[in-house]
Structure 1
Amino acid sequence: MIKPGRPMRGFVGATARKQMIPAQDAGQSDETLLRYAGWRVVLACFLMALFLFGFGLYGHGVYLAELQRLNGWPAALISGASTVSLLLCNIFATFTNELVARLGAKRLVLLGIAALAASTTLLAWATTPWQLYAAFILMSLGWIGMGTVVIATVVSLWFVRRRGLAISLAFTGGSCGGVVVTPLLVFLVEWFGFPAAMLTVTAIMVAVLVPVAVAWIGPPAGGGLAEGQIKDPSPAEMSSATGEISRAKLLRSPAFWTISVPFALALLAQIGFIVHQIALLEPKIGLASAGVAVSIMTFMAIAGRLGLGIFVDRLDPRRVTAVSLVSQAAALLAVLQTDDVSVVLAACAVFGFSIGNIITLPPLIIHREFNAASFVVVMGLSNAVSGTVGALGPGLVGLVRGWRGDYDAVLAVCIGLELLAAAIVVQRGLLRWRPAPVEGRG
């Protein structure tokens, strides 16, 4: 217990930091104004996500087709490299806290840009398997410097009241990567060939992101708007010696698992469905309509992120998560029950509306339930758990499809995963991290 008369260091530290922050002009620190500098940071993070997801996720289909054609490599070799990249980036995300502390956000972002540019340049000229795998390992390092953990961390330094909207807008760049970067790659490949296309878009990325990162990425003057406007520390925060939870203690925290497990299960179902969507829908509604369904789902993912971002700061993010997961389960149930084209397209629209929010909501829950000093640790470890499990989705769907011979069982499994995730995320009795009280020092 904390002994009477002894200071609670977490509270004193937070108070001292508040007193050290210089007063800012009201107009310059108002998150609701367009001239507020934090919105330029959001734009920078939007552009980072656009190129990262365009190259690092949606571009994999382009690499698969072109490297097969150019080098005669089997699909398993190339897709195996993609899997290695996604698994490594989720494992490396665990250590984002140490990287941010040692390098600072700006240097980490610049290193991420350099790693991604090196990756795409190497892919452009890859003629041997070791070059292929080296390129994808570099791509995983790009995810560490420019990925969701870093974006959420940087944006959170600038926003409190509009944090949900700001993170939603920044992450929307990821969805736009599939709309902008991938089609641009396809267009340039058709006209100039794969190497020239990769080098051209890489040059565009470097020319855009390096000046933006240098100019806009970093904390506000004075150490962070969040420290100046954040609510008073909770009793749990006040009883913490350092304000930062260790990973070992975090792994024993029910609150951590009621965040990580639901989103892991949701991503497992979501990624599995997305990867197999055309193959799943083609027997039901035909290839052309299945392609339309993918387009509708992608558009609704963008609309859902933007739409929810406007209101999410006034809502309970756990309840929003549960509603999103149940709506996706209902959409999959509709796909399972009917072959009607209009119903299937509507169901894909409903499913797509929550796709982006499954990435946006975890940092909002973490911000509400863990103190600011622990955010990067919790976010990094949670992202590692959910991302690694989610990466297994396509394989799980493939196994179930092979076992049963059709996709009906796949849809049933995905529905079950979504509903289980929704049931876990609303367990209110497990919400708060309550660290052990610590002795103050005289």
Structure 2
Amino acid sequence: MPVPRPFPPRPFHGWRVVQAAFVLAIFAWGIGFYGVGLYIQTLSASRAWPVAWLSAAVTFHFLVSAGLVALLPDWHRRFGIAAVTRAGALASALGLLGWGWAPHPWLLAPAAALTGVGWALCSGAAINAMLMPWFDRRRPAALAMAYNGASIGGIAMTPFWAWLIAGWGFGAATAVVAALLLAVVWPLAGLVLGRSPAEFGQHADGEAAARPPPAVAPAAARDRAALLRDARFIGLSAAFAIGLFAQMGLVTHLVSLLAPVLGVQGAGFAVSLVTVFALLGRTVTGWLLPQGEKRRLAAAATFVTQVAGSLALLLGGDQAWLLLLGCALFGIGVGNLLSLPPLIVQAEFPPAEVGRVVALMQAINQALYALAPLGFGLMRDVGSTAAAIGLALALQVLAGILVLRRPAP
């Protein structure tokens, strides 16, 4: 009598979650981060709407997101990741239609509010929450792979947007992207992102059995007010908020900074170079990142690399090779400033607090970097281009110093 063979074990579902989060990141960043610059350019050129008003709408988009993202862990617990992600996709789709078809500039405010909701529910903190149940020891690599979708959102979605706008007009382009977003993300949220390891009988990192519980019962998670009094949280959040302010300010003005030397097409290539090196830097860091406190050293090294890149941009003058080197060095840090904060939080805070800490930190960071394009623009108007780059360099040095200071818990 033949002996029945056992069913083979299911493949680890966590890597499917990474793939789905990668796709979500392409849409989230292609619409809510890289896309907003195209909205400004297109609406100012085609409808002669004031750039100041359009820029204010983009700032409102980021500020709405900053006000909501700290609540994301609560919504995930109450409604589930699948429902919250679908709500974010729907808000982004409706907001896109508002950007594309608004007959008057003042109607961009509700459109920006909707895309801000979508950005809050589908970007960095959301992706971290999706991967947390599935990865612990291998979380750096998993986060790096998922967040690489953000870089692809810049590399692929930006030219796709430009092709749609040139061929069909801005309104039709927003309708196409909104439809694609819902067609792809809606089923992914339910079939992949909303599942838990318990449904598959699996454990974090695909291990055969869960790790034994700690000998001491974990303390209850603190609320946001208590976290805002925590010296570790304050220092870590300040470091990355300052670093991201410098990064956002420099990125948004990079084309106009480089165009006098490289030309418009060359400046566009340089921005693509930043995105490519962001992807490479994040991937290498994700696979090689050490454990524990050494993650702060990796963050400090990231800021040092960006300082070197800013210095090359400052001293580049009319030397194209030096400007491109500066973009490559600066780009390495662009990816890591997104993925390193949740990994440092994972190493230094209790597991029950990680989701709340990451969401609150992203809210603070976003509220600050939303003001960066305006701040750097004023610096260029009042001072000079060199002064704006020098400001970025000084802020990166300060961020590197702060991230190395680890107060006792």
Shift in alpha-carbon separation, 1:72–1:284, aligned structure 2, 3 A: closer
Quick one: which of 276, 296, 310 aligns to 2:273? 296
1:276-318, Cα deviation, whole Å (9 max, x unpaired): 1122223455544433321211111111122222212557321
| Structure 2: distance between partners of 1:26 and 1:252 | 50
| Structure 2: distance between partners of 1:239 and 1:39 | 28
Normalised TM-score (structure 1): 0.84
1:24-68, Cα deviation, whole Å (9 max, x unpaired): x9965xxxxxx3211110111111111111111111122223323
| Structure 2: distance between partners of 1:323 and 1:231 | 34
Shift of 1:140: 0.9
Identify the residue that residue 167 of structure 1 maps to in structure 2. 143
1:72 and 2:51 matched? no
Shift of 1:177: 1.0
1:331 and 2:309 matched? yes
Identify the residue that residue 284 of structure 2 maps to in structure 1. 307
Structure with max Cα Rg: 1
| Structure 2: distance between partners of 1:260 and 1:165 | 22
1:351 and 2:327 matched? no
Shift of 1:85: 0.6
The farther-off stretch of 46-55 and 178-187 is 178-187
What is the DSSP-based 3-state SS (H/G/I as helix, E as strand, rest coil) of the residue aligned with 2:70?
helix
Normalised TM-score (structure 2): 0.91
What is the DSSP-based 3-state SS (H/G/I as helix, E as strand, rest coil) of the residue aligned with 1:354?
helix
Identify the residue that residue 403 of structure 1 maps to in structure 2. 382
Quick one: which of 70, 76, 96 aligns to 1:120? 96
| Structure 1: distance between partners of 2:131 and 2:81 | 11
Identify the residue that residue 58 of structure 2 maps to in structure 1. 82
What is the DSSP-based 3-state SS (H/G/I as helix, E as strand, rest coil) of the residue aligned with 2:334?
coil
Counterpart AA for 2:381: G
| Structure 2: distance between partners of 1:107 and 1:284 | 48
Identify the residue that residue 122 of structure 2 maps to in structure 1. 146
1:95 and 2:71 matched? yes
Counterpart AA for 2:402: I
1:426 and 2:404 matched? yes
Quick one: which of 361, 366, 369 aligns to 2:345? 366
Aligned length: 396
What is the DSSP-based 3-state SS (H/G/I as helix, E as strand, rest coil) of the residue aligned with 1:222?
helix
1:341 and 2:320 matched? yes
Q: Is contact 2:65–2:117 with CA below 8 Å preserved after alignment?
A: yes
Shift in alpha-carbon separation, 1:260–1:233, aligned structure 2, 3 A: farther
Structure 2: which 5+ residue stretches go unaligned?
Answer: 1-6
Quick one: which of 373, 382, 390 aligns to 1:394? 373
Shift of 1:122: 2.4
RMSD of aligned Cα (Å): 2.2
1:381-426, Cα deviation, whole Å (9 max, x unpaired): 111111111222222212222222x222222221111111111111
What does residue range 371-386 of structure 1 map to in structure 2 within 5 Å? 371-386=350-365
Shift in alpha-carbon separation, 1:281–1:231, aligned structure 2, 3 A: farther
Counterpart AA for 1:344: L
Counterpart AA for 1:281: L
1:245 and 2:222 matched? yes
Shift of 1:208: 1.1
Quick one: which of 168, 173, 176 aligns to 1:197? 173
**Percent identical:** 33
| Structure 2: distance between partners of 1:73 and 1:164 | 43
Quick one: which of 189, 193, 212 aligns to 1:217? 193
The farther-off stretch of 337-346 and 137-146 is 337-346
Identify the residue that residue 14 of structure 1 maps to in structure 2. none
Structure 1: which 5+ residue stretches go unaligned?
Answer: 1-24, 29-34, 434-442
Q: Is contact 2:81–2:189 with CA below 8 Å preserved after alignment?
A: no
Shift in alpha-carbon separation, 1:231–1:251, aligned structure 2, 3 A: farther
Q: Is contact 1:321–1:361 with CA below 8 Å preserved after alignment?
A: yes
